[in-house]
A = this chain, B = another copy of it.
Amino acid sequence: MEHAIIVGAGLVGSLLSVYLAQANFKVSIFERNSDPNQINLQVGKSINITLCERGFQALDAVGVGNVVRKLCIPLYGRIVHSQDGQCTYQPYGNNQEAIYAIKREDLSQVLLDFSQKQENIDFYFQQKCIDIDLQTTTLKFQQLNTGAITKVQAQRIFAADGAYSAIRQKMQRLKRFNYSQEYLEQGYREIIIPSNRERSWLLEKNAIHIWPRDNFMLIGFPNLDGSFSLSLHLPYVGRISHESIKTHEDIQKLFETYFSDILPLVKSSLQDYCMKPIGDMITIKCFPWTYQDKAALIGDACHAIFPYYGQGANAGFEDCQILIQCMEKYPGDWQTILQEYEKSRKPNTDAIAHLCSEHFRILRKLVGDPNFLLRKKIERKIQKMYPEYSSLYHNITFTCMPYAEALRVEQKNRAVIDKIVAIDDVEEKLDTPEIGLLISKLVRNVKAPVLARV
């Protein structure tokens, strides 16, 4: 029986352990934190996760999907709150498709429980990785409460130890390792809307709520217990920023001016706002992801992304599935398995990283922007004419189309919409035969590519 070590028992580490155990591996997972809940309390990890088609596909493949579904709230669209208190509802799909909100700690707990029920998986908590010898696949861990040092060795090492991966830091010193870490110029603090007395929701619960304010925004997710987790995303410096909002009075004023509709619901939660830590957001890219036939990075360790497309966990889960597919395709040939894994996965995680940083701008700016709304309207018009036409959001969220492919489709779709949006008074003419004719001409021109394979 082959032995694999997984570093990190977060979302991706736990799921990967199940995949490997089911593929007949003996698995040892080493985790720095003392217990599952702590893993998820790190600053910079949002409390709420949204799962979508590709995430569930990876969960279903090992049989944990339905347990997870029970802890999710379906979200069918976003409700945009404008400054004057008006709300606009934007459905995510045309056919009642939903994304699924779940608390990070709930998801983590379910995956850990599921993993611990498998045979051949051993967990070691409070183990900090202090040294790595890639050549001999040997790791040194320090038990954090006793100080005891253990040396462990296995045939394969998988680093699921997140954006600040210790294994990646070691690989970074290898020859010709490309690496980048880039922080977003904004960070967030969390604000809770408690449930009402009947443990139900004070806002519509089957939607994400968003208050886009151009250079900053508030965003809210429902929790199963009737509460809502909001996060206020501000630039670090500037007129309205973490630097300028320093006191309870400052934050109170900010809400009075920009988020007055929600103020009554968060008033008590604002008391300790300024004491809360600020979550940073980072994009990490690197290559290679693997070392010979011995070690591989997986999840945030090789492709941390901004949370704005709700894809972080989904992308990490998909990594596990792709890795297993490579194992099935090249049984026992680990050099090829790992090379194929990184080669097929890298363009896709680069694409989603790009889309996440773009979506950050869309959410805080364009969601409330007339031009954005017009483009959405044109898109819906095209969709009505061509039901097989699929938007970027659809392809990313409701299909398992590779991210890079979804990006290519989108670039072609955008070129079509660019041409339609350029027509004078197009909004009024949208239902005229002329525009219909133009659309069919443009769509026919790009033919197959614009009509995404789902």
A residues 374-401 in Cβ contact with B at 8 Å: none
Which residues does chain B contribute within 8 Å of A280, judged by CB atoms? 175-176
Residues of A within 8 A of B (CB): 172, 175-183, 236, 280
CA distance A60 to B280 in the complex (A): 45
- B182 and A180: CB pair below 8 A? yes
Please name the residue on chain B nearest to A283 by beta carbon. Answer: B178
Q: Are A181 and B178 in contact (CB under 8 A)?
A: yes
9 pairs of residues in contact across A and B, judged by CB atoms under 8 Å? A172-B181, A176-B183, A176-B280, A177-B181, A178-B182, A178-B183, A179-B179, A179-B181, A180-B182
Contact of B183 with A181 in the complex, beta carbons under 8 Å: no
A176 contact set on B, CB distance < 8 A: 183, 236, 280
Asked if residues B180 and A181 are in contact (CB atoms below 8 Å), the reply is yes
Q: With both chains docked as a complex, state the minimum distance between the C-beta of A452 and any C-beta of chain B, in angstroms.
A: 32
Give the residues in chain B near A179, CB-CB below 8 Å. Answer: 179-181
Counted per complex, copies of this chain come to 2
Residues of chain B within 8 A (CB-CB) of A180 are: 179-182
> What CA separation (Å) do A176 and B172 show in the bound complex?
19
Task: Return chain B residues, CB-CB under 8 Å to A175.
Answer: 280
The CA-CA distance from A172 to B181 in the complex, in Å, is 9
Question: Distance (Å) between the CB of A238 and the closest chain B CB?
Answer: 15
Q: When chains A and B are docked, how far (Å) is the Cα of A21 from the Cα of B296?
A: 50
Interface centre among A172, A183, A236 (most CB of B within 10 A): A183
A236 CA / B179 CA spacing, docked (Å)? 18
Complex Cα spacing A260 to B125, Å: 64
Q: In the complex, A122→B2 CA distance in Å? A: 58
User: Smallest CB–CB gap between A281 and chain B, Å?
Assistant: 10
Q: How far is the CA of A181 from the CA of B182 in the complex (A)?
A: 12
A175→B44 CA distance, assembly (Å)? 12
Shortest distance in angstroms between A355's beta carbon and chain B's nearest beta carbon? 19
Closest CB in chain B relative to A253 CB, distance in Å: 26
* A379 → chain B closest CB, angstroms: 32
Chain B nearest Cβ from A262, distance in angstroms: 29
Q: How far is the CA of A183 from the CA of B286 in the complex (A)?
A: 11
**Distance A178 CA – B182 CA, assembled complex (angstroms):** 5
- Closest partner residue, chain B, to A182 (CB atom): B178
Most chain B beta carbons < 10 A, residue from A172, A176, A181, A280: A176
Contacts of A183 in B (CB 8 A): 176-178
Closest to A175 in B: B280
Closest residue on chain B to residue A181 by CB atoms: B179
Residues of B within 8 A of A182 (CB): 178, 180
